[in-house]
Chain A
Amino acid sequence: MLFNLPPTMPFNVDLLRQHFPILSQTIEGHPLVYLDNSATTQKPTEVLTTMLDYYQTSNANVHRGAHFLSNNATSQFEQARQNVANFIHAADKDYVIWTKGATEAINMVAYGIEQQLKPNDEILISNLEHHANLVPWQQLAARTGAILRILPLVLTEEGNVLWQDSYQDYFTAHTKLFACTHVSNALGVKPPIQQLLRLAKSVNALTLLDGAQAVAHYPVNVDELDCDFYVFSGHKMYGPTGIGVLYGKTAALERLTPYQTGGEMVASVSYDKTSFNQLPYRLEAGTPNIEGAIGLAAACQFLSSLPRNALLAWEQELAKKAYHALQQHPKIRLYSPVDSTMVSFTVDGISSTDISEFLDSRGIAVRAGQHCAHPLMTSLGVHGTIRASFACYNTLQEVEGLITSVFEGIELLADD
C-alpha cells in the first residue's frame, strides 16, 4: 500500500488516479470523465491484484478443510470477514453475512422475517428509497397481509430533510420494521437517521439501514448507529461486483429464517430433516463468492489507508463546485443538497437523457433517468434527473468539463 495517511491529511488526486488504470483511457478522443460513481465505482489495482493473486495462489473451496489450499483460502476468506467487520466497526466478525449485494441483503431480511409478520403489522420505509429498499417490503406486505407505510420526509429547497413532529406518528405499536436509506441514491440526501432510529426503537421495531450510497464516502460505524441490520454492496465502494454485506447483531440475524438452503449452511442432514449450521454460515448457502469477499476486504483496506475525512471533503468540494456553477443557469433545477457528494438536476424543457447522451459524446459518463426510484421521481414531479456522482479520484478539471458541456448541451438541445 502506498498510503497510510492520517484521516484529514490532504492527498494528491493525481497520485491516487494512478491506482485506477481504467481512468486513463480516452473515448472518441476525449479523456474519460467518469461521474457515474453512485452506480458503480472503478476499482483500484490493489483490489484487482488481490483477486488475481487469490486465483493464482490460493483458489480452493472454503470451509471444506482437508488440504493446504483449502485451509489457506478459508483463512483468507474469514480474514476478509474480519476486515470488513472492522471497516464498519462491527463488534464481531460473525455479524457480517456475505451476500451478492445490498439488494440480496434486503431480500434476505424480507424473506427471513416473513413468518413473524401477521396481517395489519406495519413495515415503514421512507419516501427516499431505491427500489431495492422498497419492492422487497412491498412484496413481503403482499405475502403476509402486513401494511407498507411510507414516511413522508419533507425536503427543504436546499435538499435537506426538514424535521417534522408528525414523523413520530408513523412509528406505532404496529410497526414491526423500519427500513431507511443512509444516503439517498437519487438525490444524495441524508435523512436524520439517528432521530428516526430512536423513534423506531421506541416502538421495538427492527431497523435496517441501506448503506449502499454511504460506505464509499462516509465513515460508517454500525455499533454507534445501533441499527439491527445494515446493508451495502462492494462495487459501489471500489470493490468488485457480486459481493455485498448484510450486517446484523446475533439476536437480529437469529430471527431470520434462511431464505436459501443447501450446501455449507447445514450442520446435519437426513432424509427426514436438516439442522442448520451456526451463524454466519447458516445464512450463506452454497459456495460463497470467495474472490469477491477477498476483493471487498482489499477495497476496505484501500479506503482505510487513505485519509478518509480528506476524501469526503474533496468529494464534497467537487459536488459543491458543480452545484454552484449549475445553479447559475436559469434553466437548471437542483435536487441534491449542496453538501452531498453528487449533483442531481434537471434542465427545464430538455430531457435528461438528451443531456446525458450529449455528455457521453464528450466522454463524460453520468446517469440520466429515474435512478431506480420511480415513486420519489413522481413526487418531485420529474420524469428523471441527471446525476453526476463523484468519487475520490475525480478532479476539479473534470467538474469544469462537466459544467462547460452541460451548458453547451443546453444550447444545442433547447427548443428554438
Chain B
Amino acid sequence: MTELTPNTIATLFANCQAKEERLRTLVQLSKQLPLITPEQKIEANTVKGCESQVWLAVKYDAETEAYFFTGASDAKLIRGVLTILLVHVNGLTGEQIHALDLAGALQQLNLSSYLTSSRSNGISAIIERIKALTAS
C-alpha cells in the first residue's frame, strides 16, 4: 500500500463514481488509521456529538512543535474518515493545523454527507476537537 498523503487520497476518491465506491475506499483507508492505545480509550478522549463512538488522543513534539493524533471508532467508515483527517494534520504545527480547511477537504472528496449538522455522525465535532486540542 502506498503511503497516504492528501494527494494520494484525492486520487483514490477521484476514481470513485458512486457513493458505494467511496464507502469501499473508506473501508480500505480505515485499516491505516493510527490507533490509540487501549489505555487511551477513556471518557476524556471521547468526541461528543457523534452518533458513533469516537476517541481522539494527541501527542505533541516540543522540538518540532508538531502534533500527532491517534484515533478510534466503533464505526469502520468513521475510522476511514478519521484516517483522512489525520493524514491531513499529523506532523503539522498548531498554526498549520488551524489554517487548514478540513471540512473543505472532505467536501472535495465528495464526502460532505458526513458533515451534515445535527443528528449526524458528527465529523464536524471531530474537526472541532482536533482544532481544540492544538494550540494556534
Query: Could you tell me if A353 and B24 are in contact, using CB atoms closer than 8 angstroms?
Result: no
Taking CB atoms, residues of chain B closer than 8 Å to A368 are 51
Query: Could you tell me if A361 and B23 are in contact, using CB atoms closer than 8 angstroms?
Result: yes
Interface string of B83-119 (1 = CB under 8 A from A): 0000000000000000000000000000001000000
A282 part of interface (Cβ distance < 8 Å): no
B124 part of interface (Cβ distance < 8 Å): no
B contact residues vs A (CB 8 Å cutoff): 18-20, 22-24, 27, 51-53, 73-78, 113, 121
Query: Could you tell me if A350 and B76 are in contact, using CB atoms closer than 8 angstroms?
Result: yes
A contact residues vs B (CB 8 Å cutoff): 28-29, 350-351, 353-354, 357-358, 360-362, 368-370, 383-384, 412-413, 415
Pairs across A and B, CB under 8 Å, 16 listed: A28-B19, A351-B73, A351-B75, A351-B76, A351-B78, A353-B52, A353-B75, A353-B78, A354-B78, A358-B23, A361-B20, A361-B22, A368-B51, A370-B51, A384-B51, A413-B77
| B9 smallest CB distance to A (angstroms) | 18
Q: How far is the CA of A413 from the CA of B27 in the complex (A)?
A: 7
Taking CB atoms, residues of chain A closer than 8 Å to B19 are 28, 360-361
Q: How far is the CA of A29 from the CA of B22 in the complex (A)?
A: 15
Q: Which of A361, A362, A370 has the most CB of B within 10 A?
A: A361
| A299 smallest CB distance to B (angstroms) | 25
Taking CB atoms, residues of chain A closer than 8 Å to B75 are 351, 353-354
In the A-B complex, the 5 residue pairs with the closest CB atoms: A351-B75, A361-B19, A361-B20, A351-B74, A354-B75
Taking CB atoms, residues of chain A closer than 8 Å to B76 are 350-351, 354, 413, 415
Taking CB atoms, residues of chain A closer than 8 Å to B20 are 358, 361-362
Q: How far is the CA of A231 from the CA of B51 in the complex (A)?
A: 28
A353-B51, A361-B19, A361-B23 are known; give 17 further A-B pairs, CB within 8 A. Answer: A28-B19, A350-B76, A351-B52, A351-B75, A353-B77, A354-B75, A354-B78, A360-B19, A362-B20, A383-B53, A383-B74, A412-B23, A412-B24, A413-B27, A413-B76, A413-B77, A415-B76
